[in-house]
Chain A
Amino acid sequence: MIGLINYGMGNLHSVAKALEKAGGRVEPVDDADRLKDYDRIVLPGVGAFRDCIGALQETGMDVALKESIDSGKPFLGICLGMQVLMDVSCEFGSYRGLGLIPGAVKPFPEQHPERGFKIPHMGWNDVVLSSEKQPHPVLAPLAGNQVYYVHSYCCMPQNPDHLLGVCSYGDYPFAAAIGRDNMVAVQFHPEKSQRAGLALLEAFLQWHP
C-alpha cells in the first residue's frame, strides 16, 4: 500500500488516481503516526514552500517522513514534494526544508519575457538523464519523452551525485530529478504527463532500492 502524504494542500486526488492507474493501491495519510504502516511513500505538492514545510512540521509529519526514509522505504517526491527535501528555500523569505538532500531552492534568474522566458515555467519540456551513470530505474522509462512542468523555483543540489536528470528553460539548466538511496524526486508532474508520467509511476511501484 502506498501512503500519499496529505498536508492539506496540493492535488492529492490527481496523484492518487494516477498511482491507481499505474497499478498501485493508495491511501491518503494525514496522521504522522500511521506513516510507518505503508510500504511506499509519495509526497505530492502544489503551493508555496513555507506553507508546505509549515504543515509538515505542525503535524509531526516531517519527523515521521525522515524516519520512514531512513528505514529504506521507496520514496517519491513530486514538485514541491521535491523542493522540501532540500536544506533551505528562499521562496517568500528564507525557510528551512527537511535537509534530506543538501542544497537550496532558488528562483529562476531574472525574467526575460522578450526572449519567451516567462515565469512560471509552464508546459512540456525534456528530462535529460545523467549520461555518466546508468539511468535511474524510476526515470529510465522517460527517455525521449517530454513531461509537464509548472514551477517558478528550482532545486540546486550541492552533490552532483544527487542530480539524476536535468531540464533547460531557455538557456538555464535546472534539476528535473534528484535522489539518493531509496529517494527519488521530480520537479515535473508525472500525474499530468500522460503516458510518460504513468510509466514513471509504474517504474516507481516496481522499484526495490
Chain B
Amino acid sequence: MLSKRIIPCLDVAHGRVVKGVQFVDIIDAGDPVEAAIKYDEQGADELTFLDIRASHESRDTLYHMVTEVAEHVFMPLTVGGGVKALEDIENLLHAGADKVSINTAAIFTPELVKHAAERFGSSTIVVAVDAKRVDEHWECFTHGGRKPTGINAVDWAKRMSDYGAGEILLTSMDADGTQNGYDIPLTCAVSDAVTANVVASGGVGTLEHLAAGLQEGKADAVLAASIFHFGTFTIHEAKSYLAAQGIPVRL
C-alpha cells in the first residue's frame, strides 16, 4: 500500500538552515548536509529545501548546496525559493533536485507551470500555495506571505493541478510557526479539489497534528520543520505514532 509521506522541511538562507516564526525572527539552525544525513538516518521519506532569502547572488550557493546534499542522501529532494523561469528549474534539477517548487512566479506567470510540466514532467513540478484566511475563504499570498493577491487559494490550487503540477505544497500562513496544528479545513478543501498530491504544511507542534493533516485533511504527505529540527520528535517517533493510528507509513 502507498505510504503517507513524512517530509522534514529545511528553510535555507545563504546555504544555511534557518527557521523563523510566521516568516520573521529568523534563527540559524545548522548545516544542510548534516541535517539531511540526520533525517536520512531517521527514515525521512523526502526532504524539502526552501530558500527563503532567494536572491540572484545566492543562486550558485543554493545549487552547490543541493548538489552536495544529493551526493550524501539517496532520497527525493524538493527545492524551492526564487524559481522564476524554466532555466531555474533546469539548473535545480541538474544540481540534483528531483522536484522543484514554484511559488510567486506561478502567480505572475501561470503558464510557467504548464510549460514546466510539459518539459520536465508533472512529477517534477510542485506549486507552493501560501494561503491565509480572509473572511470566509482563503487567499493566496506571495513573497513569503507578505503580499496578498486576491486569488482564491482553493481555485488556484485546482488550476495549478490542471496545468500539470504533480504536487501542491500547501502552507497556511495563519498556522505557520504557531505549533497549533495544520489548517485542516483548508487542507481538506484543497485535497478534495485537486488530482495532484497535496503536502500539508504550517503549524505542526505535536504528532497528533501530523495525523490530523493526513486523516481529516486528506493530505498525501505532511511537512514539518521545527518539531524535527529542534529534536522535539524524531521522524521515527512520528512514524511509529502514525502507524499506531492505522495510517500507512514506511517504518
Contacts and interface: CB of A to CB of B under 8 A. Distances in A.
Nearest to B218: A116
Interface in B192-239: 192, 194-197, 218, 220-221
A151 to B, nearest CB: 7
Given A11-B98, A118-B197, A150-B123, A126 B76 contact: no
Contacts of B45: 123-124
Contacts of A48: 121
B3 A146 contact: yes
The interface size bin for chain A is: 35 or more
B136 interface: no
A150 B125 CA distance: 12
B244 interface: no
Contacts of A194: 40, 43, 73-75
Contact of A124 (B3, B67, B96): B3
B29 interface: no
Interface centre among A18, A123, A192 (most CB of B within 10 A): A123
Given A113-B194, A152-B122, A125 B5 contact: no
A202 interface: no
A193 B74 contact: yes
A12 B221 CA distance: 26
Contacts of B192: 113-114
Given A11-B98, A113-B195, A198-B74, 6 more contacts: A17-B70, A46-B121, A47-B121, A123-B3, A123-B220, A194-B74
Interface of B: 1-5, 40, 43, 45, 67, 70-71, 73-76, 93-94, 96, 98, 120-124, 166-167, 192, 194-197, 218, 220-221, 250
14 contacts: A13-B96, A21-B74, A46-B124, A47-B120, A48-B121, A114-B192, A118-B196, A122-B197, A125-B3, A146-B3, A150-B166, A152-B123, A194-B73, A194-B75
